[in-house]
């Protein structure tokens, strides 16, 4: 996220979601207004991220998704205000996603009773970097793992001749975002704990393992400059001028991000087979996107208990 104000906005929105969805049993009217307000705040949150994804991060996929998320969030808020109560399940999911993700994004290192407590993001990034390094070495490449700009041991150093190339494992490279999404979805529905745990056991290991393969692929492709294809066209497409970045743009911003969408759809299918209650959320999302009602339970041949 871009900075302190963005982090503060994220926490404000997520806490509004939490208060809204968990106050429903006590005060339906207040819960509805709070949850609708949370969706409006969610739209504002994504709106302020659009420039970051599009111009700083230079990610077309994330930039487009952020743009789409703005009207989609406003529309969900409108539908919930208009009485589509099934959207409380999606609201619970967003609340859970935020509670899982934001501590890693926002909590800094601190000292408590003389004991130094590291930043959660740093621990996670260094862990993923170490595991990525193991795989990179297994493929026969041996870059040096050094301390990066954020002060963590999360950066691989390559050389192309005399030119220095660094690949940094940041929070977005850890798979945490995707894990938080599935954990939020799974926790939001009403289902036996045993089936929820089985669904988590499907989603989390697959996401984590495939993410390690992704970071390994990007590290090698960029560090060894293996994808210097259509240099002028790629630089123009991403508004960049450094030709050494072409392999990164192709391996990460194009190949990896597009494959990630396909993979997440596949994981969703596997998880839904174990936890059909998630169909309520998926049907609501499809309704928001298309305006049509869907009966995925019949189409997929699943039996969905109440949510």
| Residue positions annotated with a catalytic role | 173, 214
Strands 153-160 and 115-117: unpaired
Q: Cβ distance 38 to 85 under 8 Å?
A: no
Cα(143)–Cα(159) distance, integer angstroms: 9
Q: Three-state DSSP class for 83?
A: coil
Tell me the two tokens of residue 110: 């601190």
Cα(146)–Cα(136) distance, integer angstroms: 15
DSSP per residue, 177-217: HHHHHHHHHHHHS---HHHHHHHHHHHHHHHHHHHHHHHHH
Longest dimension (CA), the chain: 67
User: Which residues have C-beta within 8 Å of that of residue 113, sequence separation ≥ 6?
Assistant: none
Cα(124)–Cα(30) distance, integer angstroms: 38
């Amino acid at each position: 996220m871009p900075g302190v104000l963005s982090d503060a906005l994220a926490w404000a929105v997520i806490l509004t979601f939490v208060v809204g969805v968990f106050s429903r049993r006590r005060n339906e009217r207040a819960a509805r207004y709070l949850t609708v307000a949370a969706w409006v705040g969610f739209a504002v949150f994504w709106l302020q991220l659009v420039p970051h994804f599009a111009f700083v991060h230079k990610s077309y996929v994330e930039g487009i998704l952020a743009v789409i998320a703005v009207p989609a969030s406003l529309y969900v808020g409108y539908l919930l205000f208009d009485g589509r109560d099934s959207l409380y399940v999606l609201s619970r999911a967003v609340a859970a996603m935020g509670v899982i993700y934001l501590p890693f994004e926002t909590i800094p290192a601190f000292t408590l009773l003389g004991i130094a407590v590291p930043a959660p993001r740093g621990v996670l990034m260094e862990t993923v970097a170490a595991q990525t390094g193991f795989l990179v070495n297994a493929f026969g490449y041996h870059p040096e793992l050094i301390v990066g700009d954020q002060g963590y041991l999360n950066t691989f150093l390559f050389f192309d001749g005399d030119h220095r190339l660094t690949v940094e494992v940041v929070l977005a490279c850890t798979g945490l975002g995707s894990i938080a999404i599935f954990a939020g979805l799974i926790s939001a529905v009403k289902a036996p704990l045993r089936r929820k745990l089985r669904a988590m056991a499907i989603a989390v290991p697959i996401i984590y393992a495939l993410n390690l393969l992704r970071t390994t692929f990007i590290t090698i492709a960029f560090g060894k400059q293996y994808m210097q294809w259509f240099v002028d066209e790629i630089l123009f497409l991403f508004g960049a001028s450094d030709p050494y970045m072409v392999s990164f743009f192709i391996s990460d911003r194009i190949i990896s991000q597009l494959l990630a969408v396909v993979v997440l759809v596949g994981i969703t299918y596997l998880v839904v087979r174990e936890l059909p209650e998630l169909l309520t959320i998926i049907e609501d999302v499809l309704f928001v996107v298309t305006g049509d009602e869907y009966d995925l339970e019949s189409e997929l041949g699943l039996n969905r208990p109440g949510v």
